[in-house]
Amino acid sequence: MYAEERQQAIAGEVRARGRVAVTELAERFDVTGETVRRDLASLAQQGLLVRVHGGAVRPDVAAIGAEPDLQEREQSMLAEKTAIGAAAQAFLPPAGGSVLFDAGTTTLRAALALDPDRDLAVVTNAIPLAAHLSTLPRCEVTFVGGRIRGKTQAAVGVETVDAFRRLRVSVAFLGTNGLSRTHGLSTPDPDEAAAKRAMIAAADRVVLLVDSSKFNREDLVSFGALSDVDALVTDPGLDDSLRAELQALDIEVVIA
């Protein structure tokens, strides 16, 4: 295989998967690691990928840390998030059970879809969710406090994490800024990550509510592995290869 053909194949892998490793590519194309590194350097100069330690990532995957405001995220993929929120109702515990709602615009859609006559003990650290849930006559709402992040209107910090550590809920509805095979579930803020990690530990069952724009994306801090997730509710944008990998981890996948 000529170098140009190999580089085209590598560029295709990056587009499809989001990330590639030098060792993996060297084995696949039966070349040395140094040859692969030269290929990646050439592709990086063309703007087709971004070099990272041990390999390369797609340019949009490398764009970490740019966290949009809550208002902007509320309008992004609204129809898909609304459908995901409706489909999430199938994972609610029986009447009288307990459910935790993470901060986020997709988890908010799940909260908005709740039957007002549903008898539930609800826990959240998100101001917008608590404001809505407190209007439901059959919901007993516990707000977990702490320092409020303006970006997400969520309580975070040591007090928040300690409070979650004292809880045990039947189901946790979690959101994520990024989801990838290698980096797991991730978010730009370390304090948000610590709160989400504590939520995972507090739940008997973790249900991830995520639209397909988050797939093959990696943000600064990983707060959980894919294996921490019991079920995932998403939109039809989920590609077949990632779906197969999720199901291989015994994750129930629901397309809303």
Q: Is the pLDDT of residue 194 over 90?
A: yes
Q: Is the pLDDT of residue 70 over 50?
A: yes
Mean of the per-residue pLDDT values of the chain: 90
Q: Which residue has the higher pLDDT, 98 or 12?
A: 98
Q: Is the pLDDT of residue 64 over 90?
A: no
Give residue 154's Cα distance to chain centre.
Answer: 16
Q: Taking residues 118-132, report their average pLDDT.
A: 96
Q: Is the pLDDT of residue 111 over 80?
A: yes
Q: Which residue has the higher pLDDT, 44 or 198?
A: 198
Q: Is the pLDDT of residue 37 over 60?
A: yes
Q: Is the pLDDT of residue 65 over 50?
A: no
d(CA 201, CA 199): 5
d(CA 52, CA 42): 14
Q: Please list, in sequence order, all residues whose beta carbon lies within 8 angstroms of the beta carbon of residue 138, skipping any fewer than 6 positions away.
A: 116, 117, 118, 119, 120
d(CA 244, CA 227): 14
Q: Picking from 18-27, 78-87, 218-227, 228-237, which range would have the lowest pLDDT averaged per residue?
A: 18-27
Q: Taking residues 51-80, report their average pLDDT.
A: 68
Q: Please list, in sequence order, all residues whose beta carbon lies within 8 angstroms of the beta carbon of residue 107, skipping any fewer than 6 positions away.
A: 85, 101, 126, 129, 173, 174, 175, 209
What pLDDT does 34 receive?
A: 87
Tokens, residue 20: 């590639």
Cβ contact 185:208 at 8 Å: yes
Tokens, residue 32: 């040395």
Q: Is the pLDDT of residue 63 over 60?
A: no
What pLDDT digit, counting tens, does each position of 222-236 carry? 999 999 999 999 999
Q: Taking residues 160-168, report their average pLDDT.
A: 97
Per DSSP, 126 falls in state B
